[in-house]
Structure 1
Amino acid sequence: MSSRDIDLNTPTAVTVRCQNNRSVSVRLYDSSRPDEDRVQYTVEASAPGLTTRVDEVVAWNWGAELAPFLEGLAADFRGWEGQRVWHTTDRDLTISAVCRSGGHVGLTWTLRPWTTAAGGWEASVTTWLDAGEQMSALAADIRHFLTQEDGGRG
């Protein structure tokens, strides 16, 4: 389930918690708009025994955005076959989506900084959500997070 945390002193954030295990989560926060073509933000993934973060993930205005990907998943709430994948241009964030019987969507969030550097790393967590309202709420929250004119400040 996603939630929007708004505080006038901190950046707006979107938190996605796994409905099967609330200790598994992904948080997008600390957004900024360095210029009119992009938004930068931080992504943090947590699970028992794991906390990892990638700073300066970039969403380009002219590229395929995360919000339309999630909106498409929400629109297909009756399900789909196989896996759907979205990634940033730099591939430092990849999201793979699968739909299981009973209307549940598994989003596997893979963080992979320094994709061209030797010694890089990657980590993944999977959050499970209901295909209908939870996916729609997440898509709306992500759209709001990425399109704020004030760079994500509440």
Structure 2
Amino acid sequence: MRSHIDEPSDVTVRCNDDRGVGIRLGDAVHPDDDAGATHHAAAGRLVNYAVELHAPGMTARLDRVVGWTGEARELDAFLTDVARDFGGWDGARRWHTDDRDFAVSAVFRSGGRVELTWTLRPCRAADGTWTASVTTVLEAGEQMAALAADVRHFLSG
């Protein structure tokens, strides 16, 4: 995985073991900004973004995942906590959006590797019947820390 910002609005995560497997966070919009509201940096603000999962023969996308910036319960905080524990942990750590349509679980593996399983489950869809997941493998230290920083930058816009 090389977490990097393709454009200011995108974060792409690729699996170290299979570069054809990954996710992309993109199309971030802060709807409150359109309304002319003022924000304090420490106070969270609403952010909508798209999540796309891809693997050989599969692509899944949610166009509107709802999140918040500057919140301890958000994706960037989860990834930062995982990065801080580069020495490992037992079991799986889990995070999800309030709507539970986007979720991530992290499992520490031998050799200082972290498996992140990214899951989309469109609860707002009329049928709500599909679920898609991909697993990316990252190094526990610098790669996880870089990913957390990229996601924090992405969410804050």
What is the TM-score normalised by the length of structure 2? 0.87
| 4+ runs deviating over 3 angstroms | 115-119
d(CA) in 2 for partners of 1:115, 1:45: 18
| Contact 1:86–1:94, Cα closer than 8 Å, also in 2 | yes
d(CA) in 2 for partners of 1:5, 1:116: 29
Q: Between Structure 1 and Structure 2, how many residues are aligned?
A: 144
User: Who is 2:22 aligned against?
Assistant: 25
Residue 108 of structure 1, CA deviation = 0.2
d(CA) in 2 for partners of 1:54, 1:94: 12
Identity across matched positions, percent? 58
Distance 1:133 1:13, change over 3 A: same
Residue 64 of structure 1, CA deviation = 1.2
Question: Which of 15-24 and 117-126 deviates more?
Answer: 117-126
User: Who is 1:51 aligned against?
Assistant: 59
Structure 1: gaps spanning 5 or more residues: 149-154
Distance 1:33 1:119, change over 3 A: closer
User: Who is 1:86 aligned against?
Assistant: 95
d(CA) in 1 for partners of 2:150, 2:74: 13
Residue 103 of structure 1, CA deviation = 0.3
Structure 2: gaps spanning 5 or more residues: 34-44
d(CA) in 2 for partners of 1:56, 1:30: 9
Distance 1:54 1:116, change over 3 A: closer
**Root-mean-square deviation over aligned CA pairs:** 1.5
Are 1:121 and 2:130 counterparts? yes
2:119 equivalent among 100, 107, 110: 110
Structure with the higher fraction of residues in strand conformation: 1
d(CA) in 1 for partners of 2:61, 2:125: 17
User: Who is 1:151 aligned against?
Assistant: none
d(CA) in 1 for partners of 2:128, 2:30: 29
Residue 130 of structure 1, CA deviation = 0.2
